[in-house]
Amino acid sequence: MKPLDEIRAVFARDIFATEHGITIDEVTQERTVCSVAVQPRHMNAMGRVQGGLIFTLADFAFAVATNYDLQDTVTLHSTIHFVSAPGGGRLTATAVRRHGGRSVSLYDVDVTDEQNRLVARVSSTGFRKTPPAGAR
């Protein structure tokens, strides 16, 4: 496992996520945690957190979880279920691998607010473009 600083340096090139203030908080083989401090620029016309920010946070956590070791995994499919409006000033996305095959992976990403309430759940399927060394 790469040190967290090295992983953060790789994903600093993800300008879309970094410009929105998304940070990488934890990366292990079992789970990845990313978060964002909600700011006025993240609000929609109704004064609520923009759904696009919630999905971007979840998608970025999935990207880090599947590519922290430069595996070159792309998303095949993602489904988001918005559960509740977030409260507080910080959102956290926790990506957990449910299946990790040779070329296809499945992750669940829960987005929670500061009160640890579930805001959204994303299920993402990834495809590894570069097979692991020794794979046929």
Question: Is a pLDDT exceeding 60 seen at residue 67?
Answer: yes
Q: CATH number of the domain that 45 lies in?
A: 3.10.129.10
Q: Write out the residue range of the structural domain in which residue 25 sits.
A: 4-128
User: Closest Cα to residue 68, out of 5, 133, 136?
Assistant: 5
Tell me what pLDDT residue 131 has: 61
Confidence tier at 132 by pLDDT (50, 70, 90):
low
Number of domains in the chain: 1
Q: What is the pTM of this model?
A: 0.92
- Whether the predicted pLDDT of 51 surpasses 90: yes
Cβ neighbours for 22, distance < 8 A, ≥ 6 positions apart:
34, 35, 36, 56, 57, 60
- Is 133 domain-assigned? no
Tell me the average pLDDT across 105-134: 91
pLDDT at residue 136 tops 70: no
